[in-house]
Structures are given as C-alpha cells and as structure tokens.
Amino acid sequence: MDVKSSNRRSFLKNAAAGIAAGSFLRPAFSASGNSHSMRPKDLKEKPNILWVYLEDTNAWMSCYGDDTIKTPNIDKLAERGVRFNRAYMPAPVCSPTRSALITGMYQTSIAAHEHYSSFSSWRGKEVETWHPNHIGVRTLPEIFKVAGYYTFNEGKDHYNFVFSDEDLYDRKGGNGFKGAENGTEWTGRAEGQPFFGQIQLRGGKKGGSPKRVNPDEVTVPPYYPDHPIYRKEIAHHYDTILKMDEILGDITRRLKEDGLYENTAVFFFSDHGMCLPRHKQFVYEGGIRVPLIAAGPGIPANKVRNDLVSGLDVSGATLELAGIEIPAHMHAKGLFADDFHREFVFSARDRCDYTIDRIRAVVGKRYKYIRNFMTDRPYLQPQYRDGHDYMKVLKRLHEEGRLNDVQDRFVCQHRPAEELYDLQEDPHETVNLVHSWKREHALALTQMRDALYRWILETDDKGRFPETDEALKAVVDRWGSEKTSCPEYNRIK
C-alpha cells in the first residue's frame, strides 16, 4: 500500500473511532438498543439498496412527458415506484454533487465544493502540492458496512475529500454494468447479505450510443440558437438516454434472475444536466434539475410527486429504507417520511476545473433566485468545452450579432449580481424579474434573498472563503499555467 493510501486509511479509522465514541458526532446510525451493528437475523430482513447513477443527463424521458423518444424500462421503474418531478442536485457538476450525496451533507459545508479538489494525483500524474480535505464524518458506504451490508461501486467516485476505496467499498470496479457476474456488482457478497451499491453509467457522456434520433425532429430551447450543431447535440443526448434505458432493462432483468428484484430499492438519477452551456456547470433548470425515480420495498407504487426535493434526500431515503437513522449532522431528509417537506432547495457552483466562480441558487415552489458573486467576469469564462463545436458556434454567432437577446445574454461579457425567475410562467428562465415592479415578484425576491443568506450561515458555506495556496497550486499543476488565468492564481504564480 502506498503512503497516500496508508495515511487515508489511518485518518478514516481514527475518525470513525472518534465518531463511534461520540467525541464530536452522535453515532452514525441507530440499530437495536445500544448496539453499533445489526444482528444477523435483522440483516436477512433488510432491503438491498441500488443507486443507478447517471452522468450529465436531463429528464428527457417519456415518463416525464417528453414525446421525442420512448423509454420503456425507465417508465416501468416509475410505474413501480415514485417519479419526482422537481428533484434538484446540490451542484451542477459531478464531484461536488457526488461528495454531497455520499455524505448526505452540502458539499459547501464539508469544503468539497471546488470541483476536483483534494486530489493528490490526477490522471496518473502526482501533483507536487495539494490540500487534503479531511471531513471527519462517515460516508454512507461506511455506515452501511458497519451495519453489515455489502457495499460496491461500479465506476466513478471523484469525492473532493480524503478517502480510501477500501474503507468505503467491499468491491470497487470500473464504470458501467458488468452483468452481475464473477464478483461484480452484488455477486461478491455473502449469501443472504444485503447490499448497498452504486452502478455508474456514462449517461450523456455515452459517446458510442447508436444514432436513432433525427436532429430535425428535436426541439431547441429558446436560449440556444436553432443551429444544426445544437440540433445534433440535443439528438445525441436523446440517443444516450435510449442507451441508458436499455442498460436499466439489463440491470432489472439480472436482479430478477438472481431473485433480488422484489427486495431491492432502486434509485435512478443523474448527477446534473447535459453537457451544453447553461446546463452543466450552471444552476439554471437544465443544470441542476434532474430525473429521479425510486422504486422497491417501502416505496409507494405508481406515484408522482411535485414537491421540492434535494439530491441529498436520496441519501436520507437510502438510510431510512435500511432502518438506519439519519445522523443529526446530515442535511439529508427522508424522502418517504410522513413529515418530509422542503420550502426551498439550494444549489451551488464554485470552481469548475480551473475556472473560479461562485454562484448560489435558491429554488422555491414558484420562483428561483440566483446570486452571482463574481460579476467581474462573464458567465463563459475559459473552460474545457471551449474547443467543442457548440461553443465555437455560440461565440461566433455572438460576435456576428446573430443571436437574439435571450441567446446572447449568456455569451456577453456582463452578468447581473442577482437573477429571479418565475418558473411557472417562464420555465426556460429567460426573463429576469429582479427589477420587476410587481409586488409578488418583489416579495419573492426579498424572501429568497433572506433564505439564501440564512442558508449560507447556518450550513457554514465555505465558498465564502478563498482556496488555500496549496489547493490553487494543485490546480495550476494539474491544468497548467496558461489555463489558470483567473486573478486568484496570481498570488501563487
């Protein structure tokens, strides 16, 4: 074992011991009496929990009312359980979202909000200086392991804190569904042992998906130009969803063949929206509103919910379905609890790769409020997508003056400090109501401003503070001096 892994294991063991001893948190879960582990006879009655975790995917599915394609396997899962129409992830980019869900805490509260942070190596390259983020709380897989569950993760983790795969997972495999054979997925567990597992699917990144959707037949949202490149990208996204539907069908069939289907709760969801600008990396609806379907034991059948749900609540429901009490330090709530309610959900965008930013969003029943903290820079700062055709086309059309006001707003050099949208009347978020004279809009703005600043303080949003020199040096080492052009890097160059 290398020094890094050894240090991570040592820290996590000490932290876990501290938690179990009650030194700074209450026990991570409650079982019978004062025990810190479930009895064998209890385990036999516990449901399996499976996360089918997509990347970069919007809810363009037939069960969500989209008639461009048919998604029969996703639809069947929805009929078996609950389809959530207003599920929002805590971040519009993968590693902060994954860090939040695996801990049940806002990524901003555990200093895991900066994309790809706390990594001592990157794509095979060791960085000279890095800032290790020791969170000091148990992740969900660790809680489940202590509770006697078999844990696995087939694919991506990318958590922005110090961890060891060995501490979290009994099995850690590569991306995608392997067919549940030869120790993959749930087949490595002891006989009768329940499992908590994740199957990571490429979703919107599935480049090899068969081309089945005609670009001429898709609908282009009003904030994009109606250009062949955008039609091609949107059609491709539908193609990836069709592929994910097939893979979900394969997973379902295998669960049935292994006699696990009836006792397995399945959560089907995405980390954030698709790759196009204004979706991924941004807190508009296309970036943070995701498909979420849950089905299985303990979950109502054939139900649709329109209440506000945070992605964190997947974590809370996962614990509760297994009979594990949600720890007091978590921000997650039990989706199926009788008293479940969220007046608002919150999302945060911070540094993405080498581009430093800070955006916060509050979503309510009718309105969404967005606070842009860095108005000295445009929405489209330098980023990894700059070389893609859809970015080149967007910027060229902007330079040629061929975008309308709605399309051009996202490409121009200025952005407002605040944005307010009426999601009922303006689901595409094209009309900023911050300066509206209507009383109802002004009241919503005041209420949501207050909600955001209370959330920032109450959850200890660490985005208020700059990254350390060590963290910034790691970003420069990872991406290079030319790409790290934000002024924050000047102090360490």
Report whether pLDDT(3) > 70: no
CB contact set of 97 (below 8 Å; sequence gap of 6+) = 89, 90, 91, 107, 271, 272, 311
pLDDT given for residue 56 in this prediction = 97
Give 45's pLDDT tier (boundaries 50, 70, 90): confident
Q: Are 78 and 84 in contact (CB under 8 A)?
A: no
- Name the residue with higher pLDDT: 319 or 9: 319
Asked if residue 5 has pLDDT above 80, the reply is no
Distance, CA of 373 to CA of 356 (rounded, Å): 11
**Phi and psi, residue 199, nearest 5°:** -115, 115
Average pLDDT of the segment spanning 246-259: 98
| Residue 10 in domain | no
Inter-axis angle of helices 228-257 and 72-80, nearest 10 = 60
Please report the pLDDT score of residue 433 as a whole number.
98
Q: Which two tokens stand for residue 258?
A: 């292994």
pLDDT band for 14, please (50, 70, 90 cuts): very low
CB atoms within 10 A of CB 10: 11
| Structure tokens belonging to residue 12 | 């996590």
Residues 104/315, Cβ–Cβ less than 8 Å: yes
Residue 11 pLDDT > 70? no
Q: Is residue 51 assigned to a domain?
A: yes
Question: For position 107, which CATH number holds?
Answer: 3.40.720.10
Residue 76 resides in a domain: yes
Instruction: Give the percent of the chain with pLDDT over 70.
Output: 92
Question: Tens of pLDDT along 208-229?
Answer: 899 999 999 999 999 999 999 9
pLDDT of residue 305 exceeding 90: yes
Q: What is the residue-wise DSSP string for 295-361?
A: ESTTS-SSEEE-S-EETHHHHHHHHHHTT-PPPTT-----TT-TT---S-EEEEE--BTTB---EEE
- pLDDT for 423-456, tens place per residue? 999 999 999 999 999 999 999 999 999 999 999 9
375: which residues sit within 8 A by CB, 6+ positions away? 414, 415, 416, 417
Give the phi and the psi of residue 315 in degrees, each rounded to 5.
Answer: -65, -45
| 288 touches 308 (CB < 8 A) | no
Average of per-residue pLDDT across 121-143? 92
3-state secondary structure of 52: strand
What pLDDT does residue 485 have?
93
9: Cβ contacts below 8 Å, ≥ 6 apart: 1, 164, 166, 167
Long-range contacts of the stretch 285-289 (C-beta < 8 A, 24+): 285/368, 285/423, 285/427, 285/428, 285/429, 286/58, 286/221, 287/92, 287/349, 288/88, 288/89, 288/90, 288/91, 288/92, 288/347, 288/361, 288/363, 289/58, 289/59, 289/86, 289/87, 289/88
At 207 the pLDDT is 82
CA 84 to CA 304: how far, in whole Å? 6
User: Assign residue 290 a region: left if phi > 0, alpha if psi is -120 to 50, beta otherwise?
Assistant: beta
Residue where the block lists tokens 């394609």: 69
Apex 141 CA angle, 135 and 142, nearest 5: 60
| 210 in a structural domain | yes
Q: How many whole angstroms separate alpha carbon 475 and alpha carbon 286?
A: 27
Residue 43's pLDDT band, with cuts at 50, 70 and 90, is confident
Question: Measuring CA to CA, which residue among 177, 121, 127, 183 is closest to residue 150?
Answer: 183
Report pLDDT digits (tens) over 154-177: 999 999 999 999 999 999 999 999
**What band does 128 get if pLDDT is binned at 50, 70 and 90?**
confident
Task: Decide the pairing of beta strands 121-122 and 289-295.
Answer: unpaired
pLDDT of residue 127: 86
**Which is higher by pLDDT, 1 or 80?**
80
Q: Which amino acid is at 347?
A: S
Q: For residue 421, give Cα distances in angstroms to 330, 428, 444.
A: 29, 9, 10
Is 273 contained in some domain? yes
Write out pLDDT tens, residues 326-357.
999 999 999 999 999 999 999 999 999 999 99
Helix (H) / strand (E) element for 398: namely helix 389-399
Predicted local confidence at residue 417, as pLDDT: 98
**Residue (of 56, 73, 360) closest to 202 by Cα position:** 56
Residue carrying structure tokens 């042992």: 193
State how far the Cα of 61 lies from the Cα of 75, in Å rounded to an integer.
8
37 pLDDT more than 70: no
For residue 12, pLDDT over 60 is answered with: no
According to the model, what pLDDT value does residue 18 have? 41
Give yes or no for residue 460 having a pLDDT over 80: yes
Assigned domain for 455 exists: yes
The answer to the question of residue 32 being in a domain is: no
Cβ contacts of 243 within 8 Å, gap of 6 or more: 206, 209, 210
Q: What domain count does the chain have? A: 1
The model's pTM is 0.92
How many CB atoms are closer than 10 A to CB 4?
15
Identify the pLDDT of residue 38. 56
pLDDT of residue 80: 98
Q: Is residue 356 part of a domain?
A: yes
Q: Is the pLDDT of residue 16 over 80?
A: no
Question: Which structural domain range is residue 218 located in?
Answer: 47-489
How far is CA 284 from its chain centroid? 14
Q: Which residues pair with 355 in a beta bridge?
A: 352
Q: What is the pLDDT of residues 274-294, one digit of tens each?
A: 999 999 999 999 999 999 999
Scored b (16 or more CB within 10 A) or e, 30-65 reads ebeeeeeebeeebbeebbbbbbbbbbbbbbbbbbbe
| pLDDT number for residue 8 | 43
Which uninterrupted H or E stretch holds 393? helix 389-399
